[in-house]
């Protein structure tokens, strides 16, 4: 129980950012990851393409981000 409490405390204090890399134009943008939901779509600020998760991934951060 104590370990779970510690983990939750840690997660609430750490801002989760991820660097997304556009597969089309190579534009790199650091975005804040929503902690309560998955983000399915992301508008590239470089070329305007709408990124979607690759097959088997739950969100765009899984497919294009550098967060583990």
Residue with token string 């690759």:
54
> Which of 11, 28, 38, 47 is the binder for Zn ion (CB under 5 A)?
47
> CA 24, 59, 13, 32: dihedral to nearest 10 degrees?
30
Residue of closest CB approach to Zn ion: 22
Give the tokens for residue 55. Answer: 């097959």
Cβ of residue 11: shortest distance to Zn ion, in angstroms?
A: 30
Q: Considering the rule CB under 5 A, would residue 52 count as an interface residue with Zn ion?
A: no
Under the rule (CB under 5 A), what is the footprint of Zn ion? Answer: 22, 24-25, 27, 44, 46-47
């Amino acid at each position: 129980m104590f370990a779970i409490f510690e983990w939750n405390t840690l997660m609430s204090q750490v801002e989760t950012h991820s660097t997304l890399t556009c597969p089309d134009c190579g534009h790199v943008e650091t975005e804040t990851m929503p902690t309560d939901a998955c983000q399915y779509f992301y508008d590239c600020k470089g070329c305007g393409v709408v990124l979607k998760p690759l097959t088997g991934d739950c969100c765009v951060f899984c497919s294009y981000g550098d967060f583990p």
